[in-house]
Structure 1
Amino acid sequence: MDSLSVEETTAKIVSEVTEMREESVKYFLCDDGSYIAATYAAPVHYNENGVWKEIDNTLTLSSKSGETVYSTKGGLNVTIPSELGSGKRFTATNGGYTISFGVKSIDNSLSAQAKVVETDALPSVVKMNSTAEISDEKVTASSMAQKAETLTEKQKVEKFNNEQMTVDKQSGAVVYKGFNQQSDLEYIVTSNSLKENIVVYKPQAEYVYSFDLDSDGLIPVEQPNGSIILVESAVSEEAVFTLDAPYMYDANGAESYDIELSIKENGDEYVVTVEADSIWLNNSEREFPVVIDPTWSAPNSSIQDVYVINGTFANSPRSNSEIRAGRNLTNIVRSYIKLTLPTNLPIGYSLYYSTLVLKKQNYFKVSKDIDIRAYDCKDAASWSTSSISWNNQPFDNSNNGYLHSKPELLTSVAAKSDLDSYSFSITKAVQRWLNGEINNGIMLASSDESTKTQVDFYSTRTSASENRPGFVISYQPPHVARQVWNPTYESSTCRAIGVSCGLPWTVEISPDSPWLTVTDLKANTFKLKVDENTLASERVGTATVKMTANGTGIAIGTITVTQFGAEPSVVLDTEHLDVKHTNQTKTITVASNSSWSASSDSSWIEIENGNGIGNSAFRMTIQENPKKEDNTTGLRTGTVTVQAGTVSKTITVRQFDKVSELFNPINSDGISETRPSTEYNHPLAQWAMKLAYSAYMPLTGGFSGIAPGLFMEDNIDSAEDVLKDYGIKSVAFNTDKKDTVCHIIGHKQIYADINYNTSDNTNGGNNATLGVYKNVSGSGFEGCFISNDQSGLRSDDAMDSTGMYCGGYSGSIWNTLSS
């Protein structure tokens, strides 16, 4: 199981983004929108029909060419024979080539059954751990629970994330017990290696082990560091498989590289021989068991690591199951690491941090504490894991000599015996590499190489995949922190909008939104400003952030701005309209900041173009005011309402009939401006107007609501009351009281007994004629008259300035009224 420890993140992983997978990389989405790209030391995926699937190195029994074997799915696609014996072969596939090899038996007595075991249950692991120092501190379930309860929220998130990034089923192992009576043979399968451990339990006269190899056409080439690579042609330098230079170590951790690895042709195949130094193995200081470790690997690791050591092995690299930094009793050690960056990082991302995670394998301290420092090798000479040594390393190899080169320090971690995982912040270096600068790797060294303190870390070659190195990159895809802004109708500026982008970027406003502008543009933020929205309707605009990549603008986020409208308002060019009795068409101008509609509460007022937006107009057609069934007409009033949202305005429309419009002249604004009767100073004029006006009133009785004009104000009398007010004591009409005087005068000859009693009256008791004249003698005037006899209008009847006749100049009525 591969696992990573991340100490810099506080964002919690939500899920893996499977479509972004790479061979050795997983991508995880976090709850704050950021991503983590986790790179593992060995492949964790294999490609099947264009889809990256998880490698499963669980060894399962299957049949191949009629033989029972253990096999894996993905990775090297290894098969392991269920038993050792003549003709039994191991196979591994990489790059379209399948190599096979078998353990060569000298006396044909080779026989052992394969037993699948957990990696940590292998004899080599169990025996080595049994000699390790045991701490007095005892860990119980309760103490572990108590420790879990004391975790901070940040630590809980880190623990959860580490669990999410752990990849299971990354290794499988078998052991052939007693394969040559003196030793066990172990095979550990990982995604890019088939590690062979020869576990020797007792001293022997010699330690020679041979294997038949079918290279599938690949050509073996021996390397200066003692390894053998298999290449496609003699001129090719790219290895398809590598048989690493073997080393051995005893139960006390003592190491030796005195192992000769050789390869010779043998017909169509090759014979690979591993011969360990018997002098070192049979030394009385050896603590058995001793493990001899040759490993087949495929060169597709995303992490390459090696350590260099001064003294005896100063001229060769150390490619073991661990890398080291510090100083032991006699030697100084440094480690060099190269990292392959993920390839699916999006264009324009912003790097948050990057961390290299190393698991502690051993801690050694004699004197004082040290820090383990990580340096960027950007200004150093190039190096490779196959050729680097203490003597040719890119930094000064004297005690603390690397400081003379003044390398850039990336981070420093205090070495502690109880620290199991070391996290080195390498953000600065990774940022440079991602920007295209040279990736020359990282060096780990002690802060004081004269101090005898050393930390050993598990390397990419360790059997337990969960202990291998890894590194993570936390990043934010190019994006805009805000997607929506809903300002009020007033002019305002939003708070700063964050932009996460590793490339130059600009902001483009939608062309139909001149009211929206960009302000306060900075490296990672900008603001938006809106003008006041005078309209009642909302308006929508967008601001699109585009990054420039390869000369092309690529949108990385859009902010949608929806500005609310102002309170609706309606202003009309009139709120009162007087019109004549005939058909009328009027245009009403509307000033509004909203959509509006016009409606009428009266059937005789028809609305045209009654729906509009903003400043516009509508027309209303007013039908003719007709006579009623009883052959009368009258004033009528209607209301037109203009509605805009919750706001409304009304127009009162008053239409006169044919007679009343004579008394109510209408000005250019559509309003009657008839002068009140009180403004007339001649009593006869006032009487004549009142009498004429009362023609609309009942002959007798109280006030009638029918009012043809304004000049009478609120005091409207009947015709009878008007006559009595001017001294006429009694009036008898020969008509029904329900008829108005106007109707009677206009259509009937009326005789009335008018009794009066004034001091100047000489003709009291005579009958008088109350009538109407119509265009008498071509005068063009019409009006009411009173005659003192029944002869009707006489030639001597006079007409005053109001157009009113009073027959009988010699009559006392005229005299009385005129007085």
Structure 2
Amino acid sequence: MRKVPRGAVAAIVSLALLSVGIEAQQADALPAADPKPTAAPPAKVASRPDVVSAAVSARSQGSRVEVESMRTETSSTWSNPDGTMTTEAHAAPIRFKTAAGWKDVDLTLQKGVDGSVAPRSHQHGLRLGKKAAATGQVFASAGSGPGRSVEWVSPWRLPEPSLDGTKATYSDVQPGVDLVLDARRNGFENDFIVKQRPAVAPVWRIPLRTKGLTAKPQADGSIQFVDAKNVVRSMIPVGFMWDSVTNPAGDPVNKATVKVTVEQVTPGKAILVIAPDAKWFLDPARTFPVTVDPTYASGSAYANFDTFVQSDYTSDLSSAVELRTGKNGTHTERSFLNFSTAPFKGKDIISSSLSIWQYGASSCTPTTVYVRSTLTLATTATRWSNQPALGSVYGQLSAAKGFSTACPGGRISIPITPLAKAWSNAPYDVGGMALIAANEADVNSWKRFYSTDDTKDPVIGFTWNRPPVGTRHGRTVRGRRLRGTRRHHLVAVLGEPDPVGPHQGHRPGRQHGQVHLRVLHRHRLHPEGLGHLHHPRLCLRHPGRLPPSN
């Protein structure tokens, strides 16, 4: 697939606009016709199939137009009216491929005709249970690729679930215990809400049915599901539990890990055992309700990843729906994000920013957060004592959102143009960044953001041009003066749009021909293209030999 030079696109757009102007001049010379009702302006288009058509539409309607052929699972690209391009690269999948084409991810739960519950659109086919009078019904299932899935089987009768956005609540699956399932992009969160103090600490034994996967417990307390080649396809991260005491920021004060183990019964069948610590659970100081929170997450091949670390915490926090920075009570927090550099490669970056949704703060006093590069990447092994090595500061912003109605939560945009430029020329495939408070000793520096596991995931937006290259297809427009006249010929060699993703199936070297523009003008050609010519005479010809001069 060949690149469309910027000059070629500009020439086509300018030609179209000039043609309209010429027709308008000719119309002015004709006798006035009877007035007719003014037609409504054409509706603006949101997207077009390819770069050229999107560029023409964007210039014509004065607003950006998405290029459908440049969509990927994690990014969208638009053509702007000024000829530049803008890409939004998400830190999580926003769409997925089906037999019918792309489908946007939508985690909003809805009930099917059979009573079962599922997100409107989920790439792993997540399904939640329906009302069941008997035990042994599947209450949650998700796939991890063709022929691979995990089903969670209910040891209780399931009541009719109540739905609220991405959450389904099954009240009193046990006396005084609610089951709450929350849909995630890569799986689901499973919460047991213990509403009153029990006589004994609970232990839940949940049958699992696996297809194409085997459960393997890990030393850190997590459970991995691996395929026949021992590749991790999904996992249950370390679980947590907390009571109802919170700090001023709304965070649980009393939080502890939960022991989660797996007992293999037969191939394809296992028992998941969730056993909260009895001493912690029955402590007289405990305030109910208490939440016990194991999560199931499907693995992916995406380079994007995020997590945060706390100075007094030693477990993996990558499955959380949040990222944090700054001083939180007596401890300090930092966040780390990995992004694929593929969307940036080979682009002439004009501007870029990180858009991240802040929904927590210590106050409405603005404080500065830094974006720093990382020299190594974050992983599930990242802890305060094992952080990625930090590089330079590439962006910063002073802001406060999410503390109260005086400064409600919302997106903040941190300029990171130098980092995006660095990634455009990077030899590596994944780039890392860290979010760190400028003053980690300041209690006002604490901030909380949504992570990739939430619907309001981090996004990097960048506006760019394609850099000129020295090949035939890389030339924008070439012109030449002919035998002492003021007439010039411009030849634009047009090819197909160049791909952003690796799955564009066009053949390299394919040309759509040459467009010859004959321009009769008393001045030299303006270096910025046809848009700066005045009163030209244009001749558009099909591919072939250069038309003769007169």
Tell me whether 1:113 sits opposite 2:159 in the alignment.
Answer: yes
Pairing of 1:104-253 with structure 2 (within 5 A):
104-105=154-155, 110-119=156-165, 172-204=166-198, 205-233=200-228, 236=230, 238-251=231-244, 252=246, 253=251
- Measure how far apart 1:373 and its partner are: 0.6
Structure 2 unaligned spans of 5+: 1-60, 402-406, 499-507, 524-548
- The structure number with the bigger radius of gyration is 1
TM-score (norm 1): 0.48
Q: Paired residue for 1:52?
A: 102
Alpha-carbon distance change, 282 to 45 in structure 1, aligned in 2, over 3 angstroms: same
Report whether the alignment pairs 1:437 with 2:427: yes
**CA shift at 1:181, angstroms?**
1.7
Q: How far apart, CA to CA, are the structure 2 residues paired with 1:315 and 1:82?
A: 34
Tell me which of the two structures has the higher relative contact order, counting C-alpha pairs closer than 8 angstroms and 6 or more residues apart: 2
Deviation at 1:409, TM superposition (A): 0.5
2:438, 2:417 → 1: CA distance? 20
1:562 is matched with which residue: 513, 516, 519? 519
1:133 paired residue number: none
Query: Counterparts of 1:509 and 1:14 in 2: how far apart (Å)?
Result: 24
1:398-439 alpha-carbon deviations (Å, 9 max, x no partner) = xxxx6xxxx210111114242632222233223333323333
Name the CA distance, whole Å, in 1 between partners of 2:330 and 2:476.
Answer: 66
Q: 2:354 is matched with which residue: 353, 356, 359? A: 356
- 1:774-806 CA distance string (max 9 Å, x none): xxxxxxxxxxxxxxxxxxxxxxxxxxxxxxxxx
What residue is the counterpart of 1:160 in the other structure?
none
Query: Which amino acid in 2 is paired with 1:424?
Result: I
Shift of 1:337: 0.8
Report the equivalent of 1:533.
485
What does residue 803 of structure 1 align with?
none
Deviations 1:48-104 (A, max 9, x none): 2272222344544447xxx75224444111222212541201321221134343355
Q: Alignment partner of 2:203: what SS?
A: strand
Q: Which amino acid aligns with 2:457?
A: R
Change (3 A) 1:56 1:359: closer
- Give the aligned partner of residue 689 of structure 1: none
Map of 1:83-482 to 2, 5 A cutoff?
83-84=131-132, 85-89=134-138, 90-105=140-155, 110-119=156-165, 172-204=166-198, 205-233=200-228, 236=230, 238-251=231-244, 252=246, 253-254=251-252, 256-268=255-267, 269-300=269-300, 303-311=304-312, 313-314=313-314, 316-317=316-317, 319-341=319-341, 349-364=347-362, 370-377=367-374, 380=375, 382-395=376-389, 407-417=391-401, 418=407, 420-438=410-428, 439-453=430-444, 454-462=446-454, 465=455, 467-476=456-465, 478=466
Q: 1:555 to 1:280 in 2, by over 3 A?
A: farther
3-state SS, counterpart of residue 178 of structure 1 = strand
Q: Contact 2:153/2:208 (CA < 8 Å) preserved in 1?
A: no
Please say if residues 337 and 378 of structure 2, whose CA atoms lie closer than 8 Å, have aligned partners that are also in contact.
Answer: no
CA distance in 1, matches of 2:81, 2:197: 58
From 478, 482, 491, the equivalent of 1:542 is: 491
Work out whether residues 81 and 114 of structure 1, in 8 Å CA contact, stay in contact via their aligned partners in 2: no
**Over the residues paired in the alignment, what is the CA RMSD in angstroms?**
3.7
Whole-Å separation in 2 of the counterparts to 1:565 and 1:371: 57
Change in CA separation of 1:248 and 1:354 when aligned onto 2, cut-off 3 Å: farther
Matching residue's letter, 2:415: S
Q: Deviations over 1:210-258 (max 9, x none)?
A: 211111031222334432221113x53x422122222233442215242
Return the alpha-carbon distance in structure 2 between the equivalents of residues 540 and 57 of structure 1.
55
Verify the 8 A CA contact 2:143 2:298 in the aligned structure 1. Answer: no
Structure 1 residues 71 and 364: CA distance shift in structure 2, 3 A: closer
Aligned partners of 1:315, 1:25: CA distance in 2, in Å? 31
| Residues 292, 414 of structure 1: alpha-carbon distance in 2 compared, 3 angstrom cutoff | same
* Equivalent residues of 2:236, 2:297 under 8 A apart: yes
Aligned counterparts of 2:175 and 2:149: Cα–Cα separation in 1: 28
Q: Percent identity at matched positions?
A: 18
Q: Is 2:125 the partner of 1:77?
A: yes
Cα deviation code 1:442-467 (max 9, x no counterpart):
111111222223111122234xx1x3
1:34 is aligned to 2:24: no
Q: Distance between the aligned counterparts of 1:215 and 1:305, measured in 2?
A: 27
Secondary structure of 1:388's aligned partner? coil
Question: SS at 2:419's partner residue?
Answer: helix
Q: What is the SS of the residue equivalent to 1:394?
A: coil
In structure 1, what is the equivalent of residue 20 of structure 2?
Answer: none
SS of alignment partner, residue 432 of structure 1 = helix
Q: After TM superposition, give the deviation of residue 23 of structure 1 in Å.
A: 1.8
Q: CA deviation at 1:12?
A: 7.7
Q: 1:554 to 1:373 in 2, by over 3 A?
A: farther
2: CA distance, partners of 1:277 / 1:104: 23
Alignment partner of 1:391: what SS?
A: coil
Local SS of the residue matching 1:112: coil
Aligned to 1:482: none
Residue 10 (structure 2) aligns with: none
Distance 1:433 1:514 in 2: 38
The structural deviation recorded for 1:282 is: 4.0
User: Counterpart of 2:73?
Assistant: 23
* Partners of 1:42 and 1:302 within 8 A in 2: no
* Residues 319 and 59 of structure 1, relative CA distance in 2, 3 Å threshold: closer
Contact 2:378–2:388, Cα closer than 8 Å, also in 1 = no
- Within a 5 Å distance, the mapping from 1:603-642 to structure 2 comes to none
What CA deviation, in whole Å up to 9, does each residue of 1:595-637 have, x standing for no partner?
xxxxxxxxxxxxxxxxxx98xxxxxxxxxxxxxxxxxxxxxxx
Q: Runs of 4+ in structure 1 displaced over 6 angstroms?
A: 543-546, 552-559
Q: Which amino acid aligns with 2:163?
A: V
| Letter in structure 1 aligned against 2:459 | G
1:489-536 deviations in whole A, cap 9, x for unaligned?
xxxxxxxxxxxx2645775886xx7526xxxxxxxxxxxxxx8527xx
Change (3 A) 1:433 1:226: farther
C-alpha separation in 2, matches of 1:12 and 1:249: 53
Tell me how far apart the structure 2 counterparts of residues 320 and 36 of structure 1 sit (CA, whole Å): 30
- SS of the aligned residue for 1:240 comes to strand
Shift of 1:390: 0.8
- Note closer, same or farther for the CA distance 1:508–1:415 as it changes in structure 2 (3 Å cut): closer
Within 1, Cα distance between the matches of 2:516 and 2:421?
29
- Shift of residue 310, structure 1, vs aligned partner: 1.3
Post-superposition offset of 1:272: 1.0
Partner of 2:481: 515
